């Protein structure tokens, strides 16, 4: 494990170094130059002994050296004249490409020598830092095992068989070493034989895992006694029926954000989030909106999920953006700012996590009167109000696709328009669109997302591997507006 962590560490250093020294710009300029074409003797000899990460690191040093070398040949800038010139070997170069070509042809020995010394210096710095990290890691490793549930009193059978459950949770908090948490989660879930997805970032953790009830109970206990995540309570874990079979595998990873909105957590913190409303308070607010009817235009109920989620279930009278993924949400807000001006906005999503940073984003625009979010999301609301103002199914991101609280069906079969809300994947491989086609229409052969896709699918059986599998766009994906324009 240490080797993996040291290599991760080196990669982090790589990225940080690129950011810190500002050589990113230089690297971008050099993006078309392949360092291997400079024929460095050192590199060629050492190549077999260098690991992939070290080779990357060497390439990085080489690009950096090359950039610095080129920069040193730049003639002093005159303010009146913004065009750049380079002088080298008595020649003047006006284009970046021409000085690059010159340096790589004439000065490759210089570059190699400089690269080698830079490489050695940077590597020893990295090694020193990795050693000090290793020392702290060794200390942490002791804790690591103590964070894993004791299962000595539980039989293998109890972890495998018996009633199951799916947990959904998140926790925004400061995680100093996400890789350590990731390793721990992987070990913990494997021990408890849980499947699902766990995202770890410096801003917190987000997970949905399934297994037997015995296992999920132990998982909650392990989480609530962890030094970082003990701020969570048992109630912060939303539960639904299901089990390990709801996910095809276990995926634990370190990411930049615990929910992918595409905005750097450093630039926009979850701490800016809107005020939480308990399900009962939220219920009252929605009741007020509904009783005022159309005359109520000072409050907006905003569903911040994707279109296919709100299609099969939503709060009455909500505004449901036509977005395919959460990373389009900021664009949606930007393009529809006037909708929210001077309004009181009530936001909701599945379990509450998207609202945390979604509401923070909306608040950062400083146009709304107030921004509120449903605490615990639809999940917690339905526990208290199964026959409340949320109608239809609750979409979930696992093989169940949806869980139901009431019998309402609010969507239709796309082929015959009869009430239908059971999603299935498009029958054409590599399409991955969710299709609402009722059983009668399926029997008639309507199993794809659109006629184009259906035709493509018919051809695929005959020549299975003639063309490499691709995630193709079809009529429906082409027709979908990336930024919703029909929001109201």
99 binds Zn ion (CB under 5 A): no
Q: Of 182, 246, 304, 349, which one is the catalytic site residue?
A: 349
Could you tell me the smallest distance in angstroms from the CB atom of residue 431 to Zn ion? Answer: 3
Q: Tell me how far apart the terminal alpha carbons of the chain are, to the nearest angstrom.
A: 52
Sole window of 158-166, 229-237, 387-395, 425-433 interacting with Zn ion (rule: CB under 5 A):
425-433
Could you tell me the smallest distance in angstroms from the CB atom of residue 20 to Zn ion? Answer: 29
- Report how many residues bind Zn ion under the rule CB under 5 A: 18
Could you tell me the smallest distance in angstroms from the CB atom of residue 107 to Zn ion? Answer: 6
431 binds Zn ion (CB under 5 A): yes
Closer residue to Zn ion, CB minimum distance, 163 or 461:
461
Closer residue to Zn ion, CB minimum distance, 168 or 448:
448
26 binds Zn ion (CB under 5 A): no
Sole window of 44-52, 175-183, 277-285, 446-454 interacting with Zn ion (rule: CB under 5 A):
446-454
Could you tell me the smallest distance in angstroms from the CB atom of residue 39 to Zn ion? Answer: 17
Could you tell me the smallest distance in angstroms from the CB atom of residue 442 to Zn ion? Answer: 8
Closer residue to Zn ion, CB minimum distance, 214 or 448:
448
Given 33, 273, 405, 450, the residue binding Zn ion (CB under 5 A): 450
Question: What would the x/- binding string for Zn ion be over residues 132 to 171, using CB under 5 A?
Answer: ----------------------------------------
Closer residue to Zn ion, CB minimum distance, 154 or 414:
414
Q: Which residues of 427-455 are buried (b: 16+ CB within 10 A; e: fewer)?
A: bbbebebbbbbbeebeeeebbbbbebbbe
Structure tokens at 253: 């990873």
Cα of 71 vs its chain's centroid, Å:
37
Question: What would the x/- binding string for Zn ion be over residues 42 to 81, using CB under 5 A?
Answer: ----------------------------------------
Cα of 275 vs its chain's centroid, Å:
24
Could you tell me the smallest distance in angstroms from the CB atom of residue 91 to Zn ion? Answer: 7
Sole window of 46-54, 230-238, 313-321, 438-446 interacting with Zn ion (rule: CB under 5 A):
438-446
18 binds Zn ion (CB under 5 A): no
Q: Shortest CA distance to 244 belongs to which of 168, 160, 154, 156?
A: 160
Of 380-419, binders to Zn ion (CB under 5 A) are: 413, 415-416
Sole window of 139-147, 289-297, 344-352, 474-482 interacting with Zn ion (rule: CB under 5 A):
474-482
88 binds Zn ion (CB under 5 A): yes
194 binds Zn ion (CB under 5 A): no
Sole window of 182-190, 237-245, 253-261, 433-441 interacting with Zn ion (rule: CB under 5 A):
433-441
322 binds Zn ion (CB under 5 A): no
| 349 flagged as catalytic | yes
89 binds Zn ion (CB under 5 A): yes
Closer residue to Zn ion, CB minimum distance, 194 or 474:
474
Closer residue to Zn ion, CB minimum distance, 98 or 316:
98
Burial level of 383, CB count in 10 A (0-12/13-18/19+)?
middle
Given 359, 441, 447, 484, the residue binding Zn ion (CB under 5 A): 441
Sole window of 213-221, 312-320, 339-347, 451-459 interacting with Zn ion (rule: CB under 5 A):
451-459
Sole window of 109-117, 143-151, 330-338, 437-445 interacting with Zn ion (rule: CB under 5 A):
437-445
Q: Shortest CA distance to 318 belongs to which of 333, 297, 302, 337?
A: 302
474 binds Zn ion (CB under 5 A): yes
Structure tokens at 160: 């495998």
Given 289, 426, 436, 484, the residue binding Zn ion (CB under 5 A): 426
Closer residue to Zn ion, CB minimum distance, 256 or 480:
480
List residues bridging with 250 in a β-sheet. 196
Given 123, 224, 476, 487, the residue binding Zn ion (CB under 5 A): 476
Residue 30 · residue 100 · CB < 8 Å: yes
Structure tokens at 348: 């909701």
Cα of 356 vs its chain's centroid, Å:
15
Closer residue to Zn ion, CB minimum distance, 122 or 450:
450
User: Which residues contribute to the site for Zn ion (CB under 5 A)?
Assistant: 88-89, 413, 415-416, 426, 428, 431, 433, 438, 441, 448-450, 453, 474-476
Query: Which residues are catalytically annotated?
Result: 349
């Amino acid at each position: 494990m240490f080797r993996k962590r040291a290599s991760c560490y080196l990669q982090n250093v790589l990225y940080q170094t690129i950011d810190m020294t500002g050589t990113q710009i230089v690297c971008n300029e050099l993006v078309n130059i392949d360092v291997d074409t400079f024929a460095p003797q050192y590199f060629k000899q050492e190549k077999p002994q260098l690991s992939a990460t070290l080779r990357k690191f060497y390439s990085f040093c080489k690009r950096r050296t090359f950039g610095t070398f080129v920069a040193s040949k730049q003639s002093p800038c005159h303010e009146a004249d913004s065009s750049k010139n380079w002088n080298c070997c008595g020649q003047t170069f006006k284009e970046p490409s021409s000085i690059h070509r010159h340096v790589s042809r004439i000065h490759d020995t210089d570059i190699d020598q400089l690269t080698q010394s830079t490489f050695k210096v940077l590597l020893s710095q990295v090694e020193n830092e990795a050693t000090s990290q290793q020392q702290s890691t060794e200390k942490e490793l002791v804790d690591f095992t103590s964070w894993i549930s004791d299962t000595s009193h539980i039989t293998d059978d109890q972890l495998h068989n018996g009633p199951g459950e799916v947990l959904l949770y998140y926790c925004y908090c400061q995680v100093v070493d996400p890789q350590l948490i990731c390793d721990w989660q992987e070990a913990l879930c494997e021990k408890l034989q849980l499947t699902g997805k766990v995202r770890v970032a410096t801003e917190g953790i987000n997970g949905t895992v399934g297994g037997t009830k015995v296992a999920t109970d132990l998982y909650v206990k392990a989480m609530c006694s962890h030094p970082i995540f003990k701020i969570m309570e048992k109630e912060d874990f939303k539960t639904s029926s299901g089990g390990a079979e709801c996910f095809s595998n276990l995926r634990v990873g370190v990411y930049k954000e615990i929910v992918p909105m595409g905005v750097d957590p450093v630039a926009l913190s979850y701490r800016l989030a809107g005020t939480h409303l308990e399900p009962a308070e939220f219920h009252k607010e929605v009741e007020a909106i509904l009783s005022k009817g159309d005359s109520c235009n000072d409050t907006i109920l905003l569903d911040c999920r994707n279109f296919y989620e709100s299609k099969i279930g939503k709060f009455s009278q909500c505004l449901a953006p036509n977005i395919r993924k959460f990373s389009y949400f900021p664009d949606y807000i930007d393009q529809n700012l006037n909708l929210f001006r001077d309004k009181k906005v009530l936001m909701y999503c599945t379990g509450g996590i998207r609202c945390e940073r979604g509401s923070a984003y909306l608040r950062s625009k400083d146009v709304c009167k107030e921004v509120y979010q449903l605490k615990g999301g639809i999940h917690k609301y339905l526990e208290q109000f199964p026959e409340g103002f949320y109608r239809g199914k609750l979409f979930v991101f696992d093989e169940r696709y949806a869980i139901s609280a009431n019998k309402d069906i609010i969507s239709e079969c796309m082929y015959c328009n009869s009430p239908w809300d059971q999603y299935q994947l498009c029958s054409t491989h590599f399409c991955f669109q969710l299709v609402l086609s009722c059983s009668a229409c399926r029997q008639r052969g309507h199993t794809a997302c659109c006629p184009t896709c259906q035709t493509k699918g018919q051809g695929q059986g005959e020549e299975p591997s003639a063309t490499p599998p691709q995630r193709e766009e079809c009529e429906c994906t082409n027709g979908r507006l990336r930024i919703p324009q029909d929001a109201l």
